[in-house]
Chain A
Amino acid sequence: AQKVTQAQTEISVVEKEDVTLDCVYETRDTTYYLFWYKQPPSGELVFLIRRNSFDEQNEISGRYSWNFQKSTSSFNFTITASQVVDSAVYFCALSVNTGGFKTIFGAGTRLFVKA
């Protein structure tokens, strides 16, 4: 069975602090995809990144970076120099090829960035 665990329910930081959101996944499949989504207060989930299981390269996009480590089954997300606009719920998700790449979401981490 597949599972995604986001152990941090809520995180509160002050603007300009760096913050890391943890994501641990479980799957026996060798081919899988990992995602991060952002859900701002408006409610609409927004896609941030996709990683496949064969690509362990870390990725940086502006203030966002992702650390994928198969050895620890983790796909962590770091926001550098956080801003108030980063306040949102962030979801980590896993897709495996069972009946068409069903996606399993973690419970989400609510990030508060205070000015």
Chain B
Amino acid sequence: DVKVTQSSRYLVKRTGEKVFLECVQDMDHENMFWYRQDPGLGLRLIYFSYDVKMKEKGDIPEGYSVSREKKERFSLILESASTNQTSMYLCASSTQGAPGAQYFGPGTRLLVL
């Protein structure tokens, strides 16, 4: 069974803290994605990666960075967390080539106080 796992389901951090969100997939997928989900806005793409050490900005990359050192792992980093980064963060992966289904993790609900 395909699997995308995220390091935490719930996270509470303070303003200014550095936050790491980890995502691991076991499907040998080339593509990985980080989205944030907010009510009424759907999913918005933060960053995506086509391959190890490759990254591309999505629609809302400000305040975020990513790291992909291994194919199966894609990390999202909030350098200095702010209250407007309180959100649900979803990681996904997919195969290379023409877009197929994205497989999503369970999400991390982040609260920044």
Contact = CB atoms under 8 A, between A and B. Distances in A.
B90 A105 contact: no
A4 to B, nearest CB: 8
Contacts of B92: 45
Contacts, number: 56
Interface stretch (A13-21, A58-66, A74-82, A94-102): A94-102
B106 A101 contact: no
B26 interface: no
Contact of A103 (B41, B45, B56): B45
A52 B98 CA distance: 10
Contacts of B101: 35, 47, 50
B102 A103 contact: yes
B40 A101 contact: no
Contact of A44 (B42, B98, B107): B107
Nearest to A92: B42
B103 A100 contact: no
Given A105-B42, A107-B42, A33 B98 contact: yes
Given A101-B98, A102-B58, A91 B106 contact: no
A115 B17 CA distance: 45
Contacts of A91: 42-43
Contact of B107 (A4, A43, A93): A43
Contacts of A93: 43
B105 A44 contact: yes
B45 A42 contact: no
Given A100-B48, A102-B48, A102-B58, A42 B41 contact: no
A24 B68 CA distance: 34
A91 to B, nearest CB: 6
Contacts of B106: 42-44
B32 to A, nearest CB: 12
Given A45-B90, A46-B104, A108-B42, 20 more contacts: A6-B42, A9-B40, A33-B99, A43-B106, A44-B107, A47-B102, A47-B103, A50-B100, A50-B101, A95-B99, A99-B56, A100-B31, A100-B50, A100-B56, A101-B98, A103-B33, A105-B35, A105-B44, A107-B40, A107-B41
